[in-house]
Amino acid sequence: MSQINQHYQNLKENYLFADIARKVQAYSAAHPEAAIIRMGIGDVTRPLAPAVVAAMQKAVAEMGEAATFRGYGDEQGYSFLQDAIAGYYRQRGVLLDRTEIFISDGAKSDLGNILDLFGPGNTVLIPDPVYPVYVDTNIMDGRKIRFLDANESNRFLPMPPSEPADLIYLCSPNNPTGAVYSRAQLESWVRYAQAHHAVILFDAAYERFIADPKLPRSIFEIEGARECAIEFCSFSKTAGFTGTRCGYTVVPRALTQDSVSLNAMWRRRQTTKFNGVCYIVQRGAEAVFSAAGTGEIDENIAYYRQNAAVITHALDQLGLSYCGGVNAPYIWLKCPDGMDSWRFFDLLLEQAHVVGTPGAGFGKNGEGYFRLTSFSSHENTAEAIARLKRLLKK
Ligand code: PLP
């Protein structure tokens, strides 16, 4: 008989989105006339940009011609896309070698797969509240997790603890809180990682939402990060690739542990277990960085940013405290009148027909908070916010 990975028994069922769906379904069934607006799920609503679509169509045509057909590509991605990404980083003064950029089918897979490089004995630091993938992937391997409290007192940006750790997850702009680390704060994290020979796993999935030029969009803008960090990025939220699937991971050549190159290990891991991202998708991702693509993507980001501004403006008017929404697509609000997250969820669903995400689903520090997203249409955002105002002004 095979032996199963017993660590899977330690995973808690994540009921969050299933519970939300169940409650919404039950409410809709009982009140079919209710026009429910969803402001909870972190999925984008803007379609692929025209430049991306055109590039993909051209790539499809190439695949249909013997002269331009492509079979297996390099596991780590096509150089045209690696070069486009390197050019994007160069604009911010970060110089990357093509061999440091690995194209993936999205940040989620790489965030999980990267753990192949690290032993089960590592102690892992994870902020709470958190994107649940960091927690579950480490539980699957049986690693010891130490949670870092992200709360009002640290403005949802936990700083290095006094105890040592081996792996550190940082997500900035943050899902779910929308908080963004400053340069000085990331410098502290890099110094901590250097002092403990730890590795920072930096999730930059939402970097494109940073509007303030003083805020770092990559951990590699911080001196010394090349020796202690890996960065994960995604085209999902930036360019509407949630269904198309493409992202990238930067593993610097200077990053070593025990004198072993993590770049070489990751290359080995990827060439063994991964066969690359579809050529058509990589051509689409390349177009994200073209002049036309950049303009179109900027428009999409501006569109979501406008939604975020509508939401934060209303919260200001209602006197509700919140985090995020300025340099991030998420708005993390404190439930009114000391309500717990699920009570506020029920109230909003039943009285305003608006669906958000209860903060308690993201960790213990999420209790009493609620996540709204800007990934909606202007019309739905305006309507949802008008209803929220009517409800809470009563
Ligand atoms: N990282 C964070 C913080 C996210 O919120 C998400 C998706 O919601 C991802 C990574 C996953 O991105 P991808 O679609 O590229 O797998």
84-113: per-residue pLDDT in tens?
A: 999 999 999 999 999 999 999 999 999 999
Closest by CA to 367, choosing from 327, 338, 346, is 338
List b or e across 156-180, with b for residues whose CB sees 16 or more CB atoms inside 10 angstroms: bbbebeeeebbbbbbbbbbbbbbbb
How many angstroms separate the alpha carbon of residue 66 from the centre of ligand 1? Answer: 36
Residue 307, pLDDT > 70, answer: yes
Residue 10, pLDDT > 70, answer: yes
Residue 386, number of CB atoms within 10 A of its CB: 13
Q: Which CATH architecture has domain 50-290?
A: 3-Layer(aba) Sandwich (3.40)
pLDDT band for 394, please (50, 70, 90 cuts).
low
Q: What is the pLDDT of residue 182?
A: 98
Residue 243, number of CB atoms within 10 A of its CB: 9
pLDDT tens digits, one per residue of 334-383: 999 999 999 999 999 999 999 999 999 999 999 999 999 999 999 999 99
3-state secondary structure of 349: helix
Phi, psi of 5 (to 5 degrees): -75, 105
CA distance 203 to 301: 19
- 22-29, Cβ contacts within 8 angstroms, sequence gap of 24 or more: 23/345, 23/346, 23/349, 24/349, 24/355, 27/349, 27/350
Residue nearest to atom 15 of ligand 1 (CA): 106
How many angstroms separate the alpha carbon of residue 390 from the centre of ligand 1? Answer: 33
Give, as one character, the DSSP assignment of residue 151. Answer: -
Closest by CA to 42, choosing from 304, 264, 247, 317, is 304
Closest by CA to 198, choosing from 157, 234, 160, is 160
Q: What is the mean pLDDT of residues 322-341?
A: 97
Pocket test for ligand 1, best of 237, 304, 375 (most atoms within 8 A of CB): 237
pLDDT tens digits, one per residue of 20-75: 999 999 999 999 999 999 998 778 889 999 999 999 999 999 999 999 999 999 99
Q: What is the pLDDT of residue 41?
A: 79
Q: What is the pLDDT of residue 286?
A: 98
CA of 235, closest atom in ligand 1 = 15
What are the sequence ranges of the domains in the chain? 6-48+292-392, 50-290
Verify cis geometry, omega within 30 degrees of 0, for the bond prior to 161: no
Contact 283, 355 (CB under 8 A): no
Q: What is the pLDDT of residue 245?
A: 97
**Pick from 11-15, 131-135, 209-213: least confident:** 11-15
Pocket test for ligand 1, best of 16, 126, 131 (most atoms within 8 A of CB): 131
Closest by CA to 347, choosing from 314, 387, 294, is 387
Residue nearest to atom 5 of ligand 1 (CA): 175
Ligand 1 pocket by C-beta < 6 Å: which residues?
A: 42, 106-108, 131, 171, 175, 203, 205, 234, 236, 242, 247
Tokens 């999980």 belong to: 112
pLDDT band for 275, please (50, 70, 90 cuts).
very high
Q: Which CATH architecture has domain 6-48+292-392?
A: Alpha-Beta Complex (3.90)
CA distance 218 to 187: 12
Residue 254, pLDDT > 90, answer: yes
CA distance 171 to 117: 20
Task: Tell me the CA distances in angstroms from 175 to 31, 61, 214, one per residue in order.
Answer: 32, 38, 20
